[in-house]
Amino acid sequence: MARWFVIAGIILIVVGAILHFAPGVLNWFGKLPGDINIQSEGSRVFIPITSMIILSIVLTIVLNLFNR
Protein backbone atom coordinates (compact mmCIF):
# COMPACT_ATOMS: atom_id res chain seq x y z
CA MET A 1 0.00 0.00 0.00
CA ALA A 2 2.81 2.39 0.85
CA ARG A 3 4.42 1.73 -2.52
CA TRP A 4 1.23 2.93 -4.27
CA PHE A 5 1.24 6.15 -2.25
CA VAL A 6 4.85 6.80 -3.24
CA ILE A 7 4.10 6.13 -6.92
CA ALA A 8 0.97 8.34 -6.80
CA GLY A 9 2.99 11.10 -5.12
CA ILE A 10 5.69 10.96 -7.77
CA ILE A 11 3.09 11.08 -10.53
CA LEU A 12 1.39 14.08 -8.91
CA ILE A 13 4.73 15.89 -8.57
CA VAL A 14 5.58 15.27 -12.23
CA VAL A 15 2.16 16.42 -13.45
CA GLY A 16 2.30 19.46 -11.16
CA ALA A 17 5.76 20.39 -12.47
CA ILE A 18 4.57 20.03 -16.06
CA LEU A 19 1.55 22.23 -15.42
CA HIS A 20 3.64 24.82 -13.58
CA PHE A 21 6.55 25.13 -16.00
CA ALA A 22 4.75 24.38 -19.29
CA PRO A 23 1.05 25.23 -18.87
CA GLY A 24 0.37 25.05 -22.61
CA VAL A 25 1.23 21.35 -22.84
CA LEU A 26 -2.22 20.20 -21.74
CA ASN A 27 -4.38 22.90 -23.35
CA TRP A 28 -6.06 20.30 -25.54
CA PHE A 29 -7.31 18.33 -22.52
CA GLY A 30 -10.95 19.17 -21.91
CA LYS A 31 -11.48 20.63 -25.39
CA LEU A 32 -11.82 17.38 -27.32
CA PRO A 33 -14.78 16.48 -29.53
CA GLY A 34 -17.32 14.84 -27.24
CA ASP A 35 -16.62 17.08 -24.25
CA ILE A 36 -19.84 18.90 -23.41
CA ASN A 37 -19.60 22.59 -22.50
CA ILE A 38 -22.87 24.47 -21.94
CA GLN A 39 -22.72 28.15 -21.02
CA SER A 40 -25.55 30.51 -20.24
CA GLU A 41 -25.67 33.94 -18.64
CA GLY A 42 -25.74 32.71 -15.05
CA SER A 43 -24.19 29.25 -15.17
CA ARG A 44 -21.74 26.93 -16.85
CA VAL A 45 -21.85 23.14 -17.16
CA PHE A 46 -18.79 21.19 -18.32
CA ILE A 47 -18.88 17.41 -18.81
CA PRO A 48 -15.52 16.06 -20.12
CA ILE A 49 -16.72 12.70 -21.47
CA THR A 50 -14.04 12.11 -24.12
CA SER A 51 -11.22 13.43 -21.96
CA MET A 52 -12.17 11.10 -19.11
CA ILE A 53 -12.35 8.10 -21.45
CA ILE A 54 -8.83 8.85 -22.70
CA LEU A 55 -7.59 9.36 -19.13
CA SER A 56 -9.18 6.05 -18.10
CA ILE A 57 -7.50 4.18 -20.96
CA VAL A 58 -4.08 5.69 -20.20
CA LEU A 59 -4.36 4.97 -16.46
CA THR A 60 -5.48 1.39 -17.16
CA ILE A 61 -2.45 0.79 -19.37
CA VAL A 62 -0.04 2.35 -16.86
CA LEU A 63 -1.45 0.43 -13.90
CA ASN A 64 -1.37 -2.84 -15.83
CA LEU A 65 2.29 -2.24 -16.65
CA PHE A 66 3.07 -1.66 -12.95
CA ASN A 67 1.19 -4.78 -11.85
CA ARG A 68 3.19 -7.08 -14.12
More confident residue, 37 or 4: 37
Q: Domain range holding 8? A: 2-67
Pairs from 31-35 (Cβ < 8 Å, separation ≥ 24): none
Hey, what's the torsion of the CAs at 61, 10, 27, 48, to 10 degrees? 50
State residue 53's pLDDT score: 94
Cβ within 8 Å of residue 36, ≥6 positions away: 45, 46, 47, 48, 49
pLDDT in tens, 11-63: 899 989 988 998 888 788 888 899 999 999 999 999 999 999 999 999 899 88
Give the separation between CA 52 and CA 43, rounded to whole angstroms: 22
Number of domains comprising the chain: 1
